[in-house]
């Protein structure tokens, strides 16, 4: 890959006149990719779908389809220099594509509305772990369900949104980039402390083995589709986030290198998260395939049993909170960039209104995991699960498909913007045209329940 740019498309007005610095952009994009997906979802789906064999599959999916689509999103953003809708319009000169782009803006908003709820749980858990309140009663399932059934998650969700809104309001380089430049390296320090703790626990090696020694007999078609879907979610694809970030990237930056760095960062954080969670679980006899409750209901038992467990537990949940916040910031930027362009709002106003709206839409999610809204179901699902389902399982793959079709068949100058060498360009186009769309359609058919299997993301 080489660092060449087309230098053709002009920098048109709107939100996309702001710019990232080069290293800041890579850290910020890693911040978006690394999130609850790596620290919360990845460990439990890995536990459920085959341990190390699943991890290997996830790596293949990241490399083969994740990175090419990531590069395509970044290129559309930088080439179009607009928000997740106008970039498509500028590059295709057709309003229809703007409508497709809008779908992903809506998706980002929906994901944010429930993702911020889980982010809120992590802050609450960090506090009660440091103060040892978490360990007063050994029934951690009950602690979690009674917390989720109270009104507290709403307050924590609002706190998460307030932080997110404040960062986004400060702008691309003064807010978003600065926030990530401090927190992403900070997160690495926390991860190293926690990894040293987890792998030195007696009995930890069984966990390391489970995570790193593949047993391919455990793989099913379902694991393959889940790994693919997760590669998309984990790289923040299909939601206009990488596209919007791409619109703030300098022309001289190599997008190919950036995409590779983001993929490597995402993988590294997933690897470390696994090396914290599996050894800890195995050392204390916890089943890693417990599902979504692994982190909030099972791991506290492990922390309570280790020396200085409150501190390690607290650090672990802070880590989750940081990972989540750097992703919520990227999600909020998508509708904010749109609102700034569409209604000519100042960044402050756009951030304020989208934050408020997201808090309101998030309330039923925050109250539906056992809370006041738990009796309210849509298509047999709680509000939280329904929004997660529509956003993660329908809008995300459809958004990904739009990106591949647009880059492969509609936008003729994609190659110039991506700045790849000839060989790499051919490979990229081959994947974007023929491989990625087929796989994305498969993810969609599977995760939406049209072909058999459970739903991804539960
Ligand atoms: N990639 C983030 C994670 O793994 C989630 C995310 C999805 C963020 C889509 C932005 C857009 O947690």
pLDDT in tens, 300-325: 988 998 889 999 999 999 999 999 99
Q: With a cut of 60, say whether residue 1 has pLDDT above it.
A: no
**Is 400 among the domain residues?**
yes
Q: Does the pLDDT value for residue 385 go beyond 80? A: yes
Question: Which of 265, 297, 219, 214 is CA-nearest to residue 44?
Answer: 297
Residue 169 alpha carbon to ligand 1 centre in Å:
20
pLDDT at 453: 53
Angle at 260 (CA atoms; ends 255, 261), nearest 5 degrees = 95
Q: Is the pLDDT of residue 6 over 70?
A: no
User: Higher model confidence: residue 384 or residue 326?
Assistant: 326
Report the residue among 28, 30, 32, 39 best suited for mutation to probe ligand 1: largest number of ligand atoms under 8 A from its CB: 32
* pLDDT tens-digit series, residues 65-82: 999 999 999 999 999 999
| Pocket residue to mutate for ligand 1, from 31, 35, 387, most atoms within 8 A of Cβ | 35
pTM, full prediction: 0.92
What average pLDDT does this structure show over 112-126? Answer: 96
- Quick one: pLDDT at residue 316? 94
What count of other Cβ atoms lies within 10 Å of the Cβ of residue 11? 12
Tokens of 42: 């990845």
Provide the pairing of β-strand 381-382 with 377-378: antiparallel
How many angstroms is it from 115 CA to the middle of ligand 1?
A: 9
Q: Quick check: CB of 37 below 6 Å from ligand 1?
A: yes
365 is a domain residue: yes
**Cα–Cα distance measured from residue 5 to residue 22, given in angstroms and rounded to the nearest whole number:** 14
The two structure tokens encoding residue 456:
């991804």
Q: What is the pLDDT of residues 178-193, one digit of tens each?
A: 999 999 999 989 999 9
Please indicate, yes or no, if residue 305 is contained in any of the structural domains. yes
- CB-ligand 1 contact for 62 (6 Å cutoff): no
pLDDT score at 28: 97
Over residues 247-259, mean pLDDT: 95
Q: Is 244 in the pocket of ligand 1 (CB under 6 A)?
A: no
Overall average pLDDT of the 48-64 stretch: 91
Residue 312: per-residue pLDDT = 93
Q: Which atom of ligand 1 is nearest to the CA of 238?
A: 9
| Ligand 1 atom 9: residue of nearest CA | 236
pLDDT of residue 14: 58
Q: Does 355 contact ligand 1 (Cβ within 6 A)?
A: no
Q: What percent of the chain has pLDDT over 90?
A: 69
Mean pLDDT of the chain: 90
pLDDT tier at 44 (50, 70, 90 boundaries)? confident
> Is the minimum distance from the CB of 28 to ligand 1 under 6 angstroms?
no
* Structural domain includes residue 95: yes
The predicted structure's pLDDT at residue 442? 87
Evaluate whether residue 170 is within a structural domain: yes
Q: Judge if the beta carbon of residue 114 lies within 6 A of ligand 1.
A: no
**For the residues 80-105, what does the mean pLDDT come to?**
94
Number of helices (H), then strands (E), belonging to the chain: the values are 22, 2
Ligand 1 neighbourhood includes 233 CB (under 6 angstroms): yes
Q: What is the CA radius of gyration of the chain?
A: 21
How far, CA to CA in Å, does 369 sit from each of 154, 359, 377?
A: 11, 16, 11
Q: What is the pLDDT of residue 3?
A: 40
Residue 276 belongs to a domain: yes
The mean per-residue pLDDT over the stretch 25-43 comes to: 94
* Crossing angle between the packed helical segments 51-61 and 255-283, to the nearest 10 degrees: 170
pLDDT beyond 70 at 85: yes
Whether 32 lines ligand 1, by a CB cut-off of 6 Å, is yes
Q: How far is the CA of 133 from the centre of ligand 1 (A)?
A: 30
Q: Which of 53-62, 96-105, 385-394, 423-432 has the lowest mean pLDDT?
A: 385-394
> Which of 8-17, 90-99, 147-156 has the weakest average pLDDT?
8-17
**Residue 282 main-chain phi, psi, to 5 deg:** -65, -35
What is the rounded CA–CA span in Å between residue 47 and residue 51?
Answer: 5
The per-residue pLDDT for 11 is 40
**Phi, psi of 305, deg, nearest 5:** -90, -5
Q: Is 72 in the pocket of ligand 1 (CB under 6 A)?
A: no
Length of the chain: 458
Cα–Cα separations (whole angstroms), residue 412 to 43, 69, 289, 409: 40, 16, 45, 7
- Going by pLDDT thresholds of 50, 70 and 90, the confidence category of residue 447 is confident
**40 alpha carbon to ligand 1 midpoint, in Å?**
12
| 454 within a domain of the structure (yes/no) | no
Q: Does residue 50 have a pLDDT over 90?
A: no
Domain count, the chain: 1
Residue 14: inside a domain: no
DSSP annotation string for 9-58: S---SGGGG----HHHHHHHHHHHHSSHIIIIIHHHHHHHHTHHHHHHHH
Q: Mean pLDDT across the stretch 93-119? A: 94
Cβ distance 19 to 250 under 8 Å?
Answer: yes
110: domain CATH number is 1.20.1740.10
pLDDT level of residue 372 (50, 70, 90 thresholds): confident
d(CA 428, CA 65): 10
Q: Which domain holds residue 436?
A: 22-447
For ligand 1, the distance from its centroid to the CA atom of residue 321, given in whole angstroms, is 13
Least confident span in 5-14, 150-159, 209-218, 429-438: 5-14
> Ligand 1: does its nearest atom lie under 6 Å from the Cβ of 107?
no
Q: Whose CA is nearest to atom 6 of ligand 1?
A: 236
Crossing angle for the helix pair 255-283 and 22-33, to the nearest 10 degrees: 40
**Which of 229, 237, 322, 327 to mutate to test ligand 1, by most ligand atoms within 8 A of the CB atom?**
327
Packing angle, helices 51-61 and 221-234, rounded to 10: 50
pLDDT at 15: 67
Residue 242 token pair: 């990488």
User: Which of 101-105, 226-230, 254-258, 337-341 bottoms out in mean pLDDT, i.e. has the lowest?
Assistant: 226-230
* Residues 390-423: b if buried by 16+ CB within 10 A, e if exposed: bbbbbbbbbbbbbbbbbbbeebeebbbbbbbeee
Q: Using an 8 Å Cβ cutoff, are 406 and 84 in contact?
A: no
Place of tokens 């007005």: 13
């Amino acid at each position: 890959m080489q660092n060449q740019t087309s230098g053709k498309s002009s920098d048109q007005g709107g939100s996309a006149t702001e710019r990232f610095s080069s290293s800041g952009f890579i850290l910020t994009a890693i911040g978006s990719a690394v999130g609850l997906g790596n620290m919360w979802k990845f460990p439990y789906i890995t536990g459920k779908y085959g341990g190390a064999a699943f991890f290997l599959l996830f790596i293949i999916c990241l490399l083969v389809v994740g990175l090419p689509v990531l590069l395509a999103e970044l290129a559309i953003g930088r080439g179009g220099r607009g928000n997740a809708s106008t970039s498509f319009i500028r590059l295709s000169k057709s309003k229809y594509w703007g409508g497709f782009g809008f779908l992903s803006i809506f998706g980002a908003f929906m994901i944010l509305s429930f993702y911020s709820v889980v982010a809120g749980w992590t802050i609450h858990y960090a506090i009660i772990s440091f103060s040892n309140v978490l360990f007063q009663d050994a029934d951690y399932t009950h602690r979690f369900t009674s917390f989720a059934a109270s009104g507290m998650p709403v307050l924590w969700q609002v706190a998460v949104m307030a932080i997110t809104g404040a960062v986004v309001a400060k702008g691309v380089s003064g807010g978003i980039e600065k926030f990530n430049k401090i927190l992403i390296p900070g997160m690495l320090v926390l991860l190293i402390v926690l990894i040293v703790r987890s792998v030195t626990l007696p009995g930890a090696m069984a966990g390391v083995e489970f995570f790193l020694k593949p047993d391919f007999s455990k793989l099913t078609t379902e694991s393959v589709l889940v790994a693919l879907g997760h590669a998309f979610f984990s790289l923040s694809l299909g939601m206009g986030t990488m596209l919007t970030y791409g619109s703030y990237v300098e022309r001289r930056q190599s997008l190919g290198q950036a995409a590779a760095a983001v993929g490597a960062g995402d993988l590294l954080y997933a690897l470390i998260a696994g090396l914290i969670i599996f050894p800890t679980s195995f050392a204390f006899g916890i089943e890693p395939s417990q599902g979504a409750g692994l982190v909030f209901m099972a791991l506290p038992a492990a922390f309570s049993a280790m020396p200085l467990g409150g501190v390690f537990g607290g650090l672990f949940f802070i880590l989750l909170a940081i990972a989540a916040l750097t992703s919520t910031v990227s999600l909020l930027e998508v509708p904010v960039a749109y609102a700034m362009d569409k209604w000519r709002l100042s960044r402050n106003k756009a951030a304020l209104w989208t934050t408020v709206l997201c808090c309101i839409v998030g309330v039923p999610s925050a109250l539906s995991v056992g809370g006041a809204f738990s009796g309210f179901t849509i298509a047999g699902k709680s509000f939280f699960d329904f929004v997660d389902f529509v956003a993660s399982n329908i809008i995300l793959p459809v958004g990904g498909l739009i990106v591949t079709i647009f880059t492969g068949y509609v936008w003729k100058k994609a190659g110039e913007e991506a700045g790849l060498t000839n060989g790499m360009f051919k490979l990229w186009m081959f994947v974007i045209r023929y491989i990625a769309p087929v796989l994305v359609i498969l993810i969609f058919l599977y995760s939406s329940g049209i072909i058999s299997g459970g739903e991804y993301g539960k």
